[in-house]
Amino acid sequence: MSYGKLYMSILEREQELGPLETSQSGQGRPWQHWQMAGDAQGVVWLALDEKGREVNTITQAVLDELNDILDKLDHDQPKGLVLRSAKRTNFCVGADINQFQKVVHGQDITDQLRKAHEIVGRLADISIPTIAIIHGNCLGGGLELALCCDHRLAIGNARMGLPEILLGLHPGLGGTARLTSLIDPLKAMTLMLTGRSVDANRAKALGLVDKVIEERHVLKAVDTLVNKGLRTKHASLKNRLLATKPARRLEARQMRSKTAEKVNMAHYPAPEALIALWEDHGEDIDAMLQAEVQSFAKLLQSSTAQNLIRVFSLREAMKRAAKTGAEAFQHIHVIGAGSMGRDIAAWCSYKGLQVTIFDRDFNMVARAVKSTAEMCAAKHLPHNVTREVLDRLIPDRYNLGVASADLVIEAVPEEIGIKQTVYSHAEAKMRPDALLATNTSSIPLEELAKQLKKPEQFVGLHFFNPVSKMQLVEVVGHRRADQQTIANAKAFVGQIDRLPVEVASSAGFLVNRILSAYLLEAMQMVDEGVPPEQLDAAAEDFGMPVGPIELADRVGLDICLHVAETLSGQLSFPEGSLPGKIRELVEKDWNGLKSGQGFYRWQADKPEKQKDNSPVSKEHIDRLILPMINSCVACLREGVIVDPELLDGAMVFGAGFAPFRGGPLHYVRKRGSEDILTTLERFAEKYGERFRPDPGWQDLRIVDFLE
């Protein structure tokens, strides 16, 4: 008898496995979220199949039914228990995040967690051999459930991780204690502190799974484990040392130091909470399990966790926006192999599409191939996978790919004449059903579309640099664009694992327009004599990933100046709002990182900054952040974006707006719009009309969202 397709459906195999068990309390109905059957050898096969979901999550209903099932298993005492998923693509992706947004009272959270711990603890303590068979994603609470089993077997496509730290939390279903007890505690802590997932082979090397097997070998492996088990592993000398608190204290100090280099733990308390858990209780699994409950409950109530959970929900909403039902794209043609064009081509090839890339300077195309290989190396792809990515990227000396592509993306310099010439040549050769897209960052699409024969099939796809790291893509519409074109463009963005946000064609579109207000005010303050280091420190204290001056240097001061001059004409910036220092630097060819000198001198891609121990100024923070917020309100009023929630998502994923604050408009709600309006009016009197509150602050639709 083969169990090779068990995860597809136990129900389909009822005759082979025996009668399907039913809930004791369900009046003969099967359990809603679990399928269970027994085989001739006395082993029970239990498959998680959460009702109404494409993927499994851990909910209270799932755990309550598991508790019911464990009652039956305690009574029947089968020879062994195999835990699987009945979903085709995954084991379990973790806890249902939505339940975390319904936090009310701390004691309620603690009580629910203790109840959940008791249930999974029963699985961990059951007297029969237990085996988890893992395929697809096994994350968060799903992995914590698997850790309760005696053995774990991974199918080749399995991927495992505990990503709770990315939500401002740490594992809360026993994972902190069980993982650090199972594998090298330092490697376990690294997995939890980074939130990274590992593939099946890496999981095997870590000791997270016992074996990596193919589906056809599942039955034999289960039989071996149930009847013979595995030899007991003895704790290594390193693990025995880390069972002592002095050794853990020393390692914990190193963890804190390394973590502080990457995140501000004043804004993100979860890493410190996780480190303290292990440092204080790492020698006693029961004590650590108990402490985990209190620590998780405290974190869940924090504004950081609630805001990061909100950001996660925004990300899921943006992913859903990409599911338009449009057919998948197969062939992308990129015109222009500059920095953005080659990054777009590389990413599309990496995500499995055939890509042709053309540039009048064929040396630029060669650079595109080289940079794609460098991206693959940075991602540590195996040689054979890198070869596949490069095989999909086809240098196109004569621009022939334009005739067969599903989508043509133009990424040439920001000059209307150049772009319109490209369109004229492309439209004459493109397939009738193909889309034409521009990656322009500042030119209104109405201008670009004036001479097009099929403007209804023209759309903006504004990627952010670097494409391999920035998740957002602005899908830019215009008055003559067909809605199906917009839908197809969103689907393409989702296909390449990016987040689409639909915006109207306008000066700077959404993110660049808002970000420009931040950068311009920083430049203005430099002109006033504020040291660049102070401004960067203020922004980073607020929670921005990098300060405005360092950001400008990284982007390129010549580019920043060009964008500022372009937007000043389109948005009618107040007189005197364009700073002078940046122009002086550009005239010297001091353009920042790429020239080695800008506001800062750059060495090994790092800015040399003067130490400044002066306290961070709240006024400096407000002068940087409030112009962004004022621009957000203006964009809503003008209809650049319709949904305020998606505006928050766009600013987090496209500009790095402090994620732990939940987005700029969510920040307004937490701080209070009256306080912000009062501050803007005060700044307008003190510093100029650029701070005057936008009329959108009086728009009832916007007011209702902000209150």
- Other C-beta atoms lying within 10 Å of the C-beta of residue 262: 11
The answer on pLDDT for 233 being more than 80 is no
Place 4 in a pLDDT band, splitting at 50, 70 and 90.
very low
The two beta strands, 80-85 and 354-358, are: unpaired
Q: What is the CA radius of gyration of the chain?
A: 28
Contact at 8 Å (CB) between 156 and 183?
no
pLDDT band at 11 (very low <50, low <70, confident <90, very high): very low
Indicate the DSSP class of residue 89.
S
* Lowest-confidence pick of 226-230, 285-289, 293-297, 400-404: 226-230
**Among the options 21, 50, 65, 144, which is catalytic?**
144
Question: CA triplet 648, 653, 656: central angle to 5 degrees?
Answer: 90
Catalytic residue among 38, 141, 282, 401: 141
Nearest to 37 by CA among 46, 24, 29: 46
pLDDT at 614: 87
- Taking every pair of Cα atoms in the chain, the longest distance, rounded to a whole number of angstroms, is 84
Q: Is the pLDDT of residue 17 over 80?
A: no
User: Of how many residues is the chain composed?
Assistant: 707
- Whole-number pLDDT of residue 187: 95
- H or E element, residue 645: helix 644-655
Give me the mean pLDDT over the 294-309 stretch.
94
Mean pLDDT (whole number) for 350-369 = 96
What are the CA-CA distances from residue 239 to residues 179, 236, 250, 251, 282 (Å)?
Answer: 13, 5, 14, 12, 10
Q: What is the mean pLDDT of residues 685-705?
A: 92
Residue 227 structure tokens? 């009847």
Flag whether pLDDT at 149 surpasses 60: yes
Alpha-carbon torsion 15, 19, 23, 27, what sign?
positive
Assess contact for 506 and 493: CB atoms under 8 A.
no
- Give the per-residue pLDDT at 164: 96
Instruction: Please give the Cα distance from 15 to 13 (Å, whole number).
Output: 6
Mean pLDDT of the chain: 90
Please say whether the beta carbons of 95 and 57 come within 8 A.
yes
**What is the Cα–Cα distance from 36 to 125, expressed in whole angstroms?**
20
DSSP 12: G
Catalytic member of 164, 251, 410, 502: 164
Helix (H, G, I), strand (E, B) or coil at 693: coil
Count Cβ atoms below 10 Å from residue 99 Cβ, excluding itself: 13
Cis peptide upstream of residue 185 (ω within 30 degrees of 0): no
Confidence of residue 668 (pLDDT cuts 50, 70, 90): very high
At residue 83, the 3 state secondary structure works out as strand
Q: pTM of the predicted model, to two decimals?
A: 0.89
Contact 119, 168 (CB under 8 A): no
Residue with tokens 């909100």: 310
Closest by Cα among 89, 255, 98, 117 to 188:
255
Q: Could you report the per-residue pLDDT of 613-651, keeping only the tens digit for each?
A: 888 999 999 999 999 999 999 999 999 999 999 999 999
* Residue 235: DSSP 8-state: P
Report percent pLDDT > 70 for the chain: 92
What pLDDT, in 10s, does the model give residues 503-524?
Answer: 999 888 999 999 999 999 999 9
Q: What is the DSSP string of 359-411?
A: -SSHHHHHHHHHHHHHHHHHTT--HHHHHHHHHHEEE-TT-GGGGT-SEEEE-
The answer to whether residue 29 scores a pLDDT higher than 50 is: no
Q: What is the mean pLDDT of residues 305-324?
A: 94
Given the residues 47, 95, 200, 297, the one annotated as active site? 95
Span 460-496, pLDDT tens digits? 999 998 899 999 999 999 999 999 999 999 999 999 9
Residue type, 212: V
d(CA 321, CA 487): 9
pLDDT tens digits along 524-562: 999 999 999 999 999 999 999 999 999 999 989 998 888
Both structure tokens of 157: 């496509």
**Confidence band for 15, pLDDT divided at 50, 70 and 90:** very low
- For residues 600-607, give the mean pLDDT: 93
Q: Shortest CA distance to 332 belongs to which of 186, 157, 488, 535?
A: 488
Angle at 285 between CA 282 and CA 290, to 5 degrees: 100
Q: Which of 326, 316, 315 is nearest to 492 (CA)?
A: 326
Question: What is the pLDDT, as a whole number, of residue 541?
Answer: 94
Helical H segments across 32-174, by residue range: 60-76, 106-125, 141-147
With pLDDT > 90 as the criterion, what percentage of the chain qualifies? Answer: 78
Nearest to 31 by CA among 75, 76, 63, 79: 63
Least Cα distance to 84 among 30, 24, 153, 16 occurs for: 153
Quick check: is 141 catalytic?
Answer: yes
Neighbour order of strands in the sheet with 43-48? 34-38, 43-48, 80-85, 130-134, 151-155, 211-213
User: Is the per-residue pLDDT at 25 higher than 70?
Assistant: no
Instruction: Round to the nearest angstrom and report the end-to-end CA distance of the chain.
Output: 62
Q: What is the pLDDT of residue 5?
A: 41
Positive or negative, the CA dihedral 566, 567, 571, 576 is negative
Distances from the Cα of 36 to the Cαs of 10, 116, 244, in angstroms?
7, 21, 43
- The answer to whether 95 is a known catalytic residue is yes
* pLDDT on residue 574: 57
Distances (CA, A) of 238 to 241, 246, 286: 5, 13, 21
pLDDT-derived band of residue 40, with 50, 70 and 90 as boundaries?
confident
Q: What is the pLDDT of residue 416?
A: 92
Would you place residue 24 in the very low, low, confident or very high pLDDT band (cuts 50, 70, 90)?
A: very low
Q: pLDDT tier at 61 (50, 70, 90 boundaries)?
A: very high
Confidence (pLDDT) at 257: 94
Compare 193 and 563 and report the one with higher pLDDT. 193
Q: Which two tokens stand for residue 340?
A: 């953005």
Mean pLDDT is lowest, of 7-11, 59-63, 121-125, 605-609, for 7-11
Go through the domains of the chain in sequence order and give each one's CATH number: 6-230+238-300 (3.90.226.10), 324-505 (3.40.50.720), 512-640+672-706 (1.10.1040.50)
* Nearest-5° Cα angle at 467, 463 to 471: 75
Residues 6+ apart with CB under 8 A from 362: 395, 397
